[in-house]
Each structure stands twice: as C-alpha cells, then as structure tokens.
Amino acid sequence: MTRYLCAPDSFKESLTAMEAARAMAQGIENADHDAEVRCLPMADGGEGTARALVDATGGSMHAVPVHDPLGRPVEGHFGLLADGTTAVVETAEASGLALLEAKERNPLIASSYGTGELMLAAVRSGAKRIIVGLGGSATNDAGAGLLQALGVRLLDGNGNDLKHGGAALADLATIDISTMDPALKNVSITAACDVTNPLTGPTGASAVFGPQKGASQADVATLDAALAHFAQVIESRLGVAVNDVPGAGAAGGIGAALKGFLDAEFRPGIAIVIEQSGLDAAAQWADVVFTGEGSIDFQTKFGKTPAGVAETAKRHGKPVIAVAGHIGTGIDELHEVGIDAVFGIAPGAASLSELLADAAANVTRTTEQVVRTLQLKQLHKLPLMGRAVKETPEAFPGEGLTTVNPAEGSIIAGRAAAAKP
C-alpha cells in the first residue's frame, strides 16, 4: 500500500487548498485502489491562509461586518483554529486590493481599519494568539487605520482624530494608546511576512508597493514623507524604532504598526503554516508527496508553498510532485529545492474561464496519470524517483495493484480499502 500526501496551496479563483487536495486525492484513488491518502491544505501566509489552516486543523471560519479600504461596509472573515485560541487574519480580507476597482485605488486615503476590526473580533471570540497574513493590501497607511480600530487615538495638533489614509499621517502630533482595547493586552501577534522591506525609503512601502496600489510618483513622495513622520512620532512618544525593522513595510506598512504597538513576531508565512498544519509529521508518514498551486515558475522557490512542502518532504527523503494551472519559466530551478517533477493541468487550448471552471477535473486527471506512470515504474522494477527497488516473492503479476514500501525497499502486492480524503 502506498501512502500519498496531498498538500497543495489554493488555485487562485478556482479551488481552495482543500478542494485542490481532494481533487488530487480523487485522481490517486482512480489510479491506485490500494492507496492511503491524506489531504493537508497549505498556504504561504498570503490569500487563502486562514481557510487552509482552518481546514487543516478542523477549525472554523467566522464572518464579521467590517469596512473596506474606502470605509464601505463589507463582510470579512477570520479563521479560528481547532485549539480555539489561535486566530488567523488576512490583511487582504478587509483591506485588500481585490476589494476595489482599478479606478478606486487611492493609497492616499485607503485605510486598514477593516483589518483591525477583524483582529478585534478574533480577540473577542477568545483568541489569545493572532496570526496576521501580510499581503495583498490596497493601503499605504502604516497600519494607522488598524490601530484606530483597536482603539488607539492618532491626533493632530488640534487634538482631533486623524482622517483615514496614509497621507493624513503627515498631520500626526500625538498618539494616545491608553484607549486601546484592554483585551489585546494578553494577546500575542505573529506576522506572516515574506518581505524584508523597511517602512520608508527607496525600498520602503510607498516606493516599492505604492504604484501597484494606484500611487503616482508624487503620491509616493507624499506617502513616504507621511510614513517617515509617523515613525518619528512613534519613536518619540513610545520609544520604539520601527522605520528600519525588516518587514515594517509589508502590507503598506501594517508591519510597522504590528511591531511598534503590539510587539509582533515576524516569521515567513510558509514556516507558520508548516508548523500549524503538522506538515512535518504528515510528510514523514507519506511515501509520495503531491503539492501545487495555480501558477508555478522559478519564483516558486522563494518561500512559496510548493517549495516549502518540498523542503519539508526532502528532510524525510520523500519524492515530491507538483501540479499547476500554469507553468512559467525556469521550473528546472525547482529541482534543486526538492521538487522532483512539475506537471501542468491544462488539457489543451481553452479559455481562462473554461480552465477555471474545470480546475478540479483537470487536477484529478493529471494526478491520476502521474500515479499511473509511477505504477508502471514499479511494475517494471524501475526506481521510484531514484530509489532502488527489489523484487520479493510476494509480488505476482496480475494479483491486484502493486505498491512500493519505501521502508523495506520492496514491491509488495495486495488490496486495501481506499482511504477517504
């Protein structure tokens, strides 16, 4: 009996990580009726992280009325893991670029207030630890809106609360943290962050990420100066230097707010997900590991889910196969990080809408064909991903499907009930 682990990320706009894992599992079971399969949805700290960790741990998603980057009411969600005390909040959920039409993008006024509302809701639901996924934000306010949602008062020289948006920070005179919600005092914050950008300067939040959020060159200069002033006031009033903290510029500077006001710990997103999901133990259990996501190319090796899964699996000497909706350039570079093979799932010429609609079926079909190929290698005594295989008396042609037992390095025969994903 071969043990397969299905540990993909989501396929953007088509499949959640769990849906992708189940599609893989179906393909495996179509080809290998003796298979034992486990589904472990994964993420890298970006979009889909809350759902992936909730599905991986048996937790729950919670809907919350919040405000989008322009202050309009929307429904946001946070995840509460099975332990009941760890919550996952994504900045993209309430403060994301995807919530705005292209013509609405304006980082001068866009606010992270909704992300703060999600965090506060998580705390009031009993969370003692919040994992905040930094990425995909439409904001460049250094987390000012988030702080205001948590009760912090940001005041101008006349004692008035600042308006929302990064540009308003130029008028900041006083910070009052005495009004911060007391429920946050015993809550630890972990920022899932894969960038090391400081808050300001040529590699800061405004210069690097501002243009994709709608900032002109003049806007970038305005925002960079406003955020630098914010950092100066934080240091003078709170005694915390945030400007040059690696990751402070993440999510439009939300990293700076989390560090300066909530003493957040910064960790790579994939490392957090690997830890919380129990991937290491699952990879040790498996004989073959499948992973994947919507698009794979040479950049996948820089902290993306398939690379993290592969690195973990290789610590236990397991073969890793990735499937993707789109395969870009430089995938040969992925072999050096532990991904043994990459397969595209597109069946041929098709429109994007067709590919998105048929994503699950395409993942299933591709995975099934990969497993059938692996079985041919086993039947003909070929090494499975470079491992030697020896014949044993138990292997007889025609008596059920054969599977590799890596622990014994042998081919064995027999049938077992297929495990459900």
User: Can you give the pLDDT at residue 381?
Assistant: 61
Give the helix, strand, coil percentages of the chain, each rounded to 5.
Answer: 40, 20, 40
Helix spans in 177-278 (H): 205-209, 217-238, 250-262, 269-277
CA distance 99 to 74: 9
* 3-40+278-377 CATH fold: Rossmann fold (3.40.50)
Nearest CA among 376, 367, 366 for reference residue 289: 367
CA distance 284 to 293: 22
Cβ atoms within 10 Å, residue 381: 12
∠ CA 254-211-296, nearest 5°, is: 80
User: Can you give the pLDDT at residue 12?
Assistant: 86
∠ CA 145-146-147, nearest 5°, is: 90
Would the CATH topology of 3-40+278-377 be identical to that of 49-270?
no
Q: Please, what's the b/e burial string for 186-207 (b: 16 or more CB within 10 A of its CB; e: otherwise)?
A: ebebbbbbbbebbbbbeebbbb
In what helix (H) or strand (E) does residue 40 lie, and over which residues does it extend?
none
What stretches of 228-319 adopt beta strand conformation (E)? Answer: 265-267, 288-296
Helix (H, G, I), strand (E, B), or coil: what is residue 262?
helix
Nearest CA among 111, 17, 33, 21 for reference residue 416: 33
Q: What are phi and psi of 74, to 5 degrees?
A: -145, 170
CA distance 33 to 204: 53
pTM of the model: 0.84
CA distance 142 to 415: 58
User: Can you give the pLDDT at residue 47?
Assistant: 87
**For strand 73-80 and strand 402-405, is the pairing parallel, antiparallel, or unpaired?**
unpaired
Domain 49-270: which CATH number of 3.30.1300.10, 3.30.350.10, 1.10.1040.10, 3.90.1510.10: 3.90.1510.10
**For strand 153-155 and strand 174-176, is the pairing parallel, antiparallel, or unpaired?**
antiparallel
CA distance 419 to 25: 9
Angle, helices 17-31 vs 49-57, to 10°: value is 50
CA distance 87 to 49: 11
User: Can you give the pLDDT at residue 402?
Assistant: 33
Q: What is the pLDDT along the chain (421 residues), one digit of tens a residue?
A: 899 999 999 998 899 999 999 999 999 999 999 999 999 999 998 889 999 999 999 999 999 999 999 999 999 999 999 999 999 999 999 999 999 999 999 999 999 999 999 999 999 999 999 999 998 999 999 999 999 999 999 999 999 999 999 999 999 999 999 999 999 989 999 999 989 999 999 999 999 999 999 999 999 999 999 999 999 999 999 999 999 999 999 999 999 999 999 999 999 999 999 999 999 999 999 999 999 999 999 999 998 999 999 999 999 999 999 999 999 999 999 999 999 999 999 987 778 888 888 899 999 999 999 999 998 877 666 555 544 434 433 433 333 333 333 333 333 333 333 334 4
Nearest CA among 37, 86, 79, 87 for reference residue 55: 79
Domains in the chain: boundaries: 3-40+278-377, 49-270
- Alpha carbons within 13 A on the beta-carbon side of 126: 8
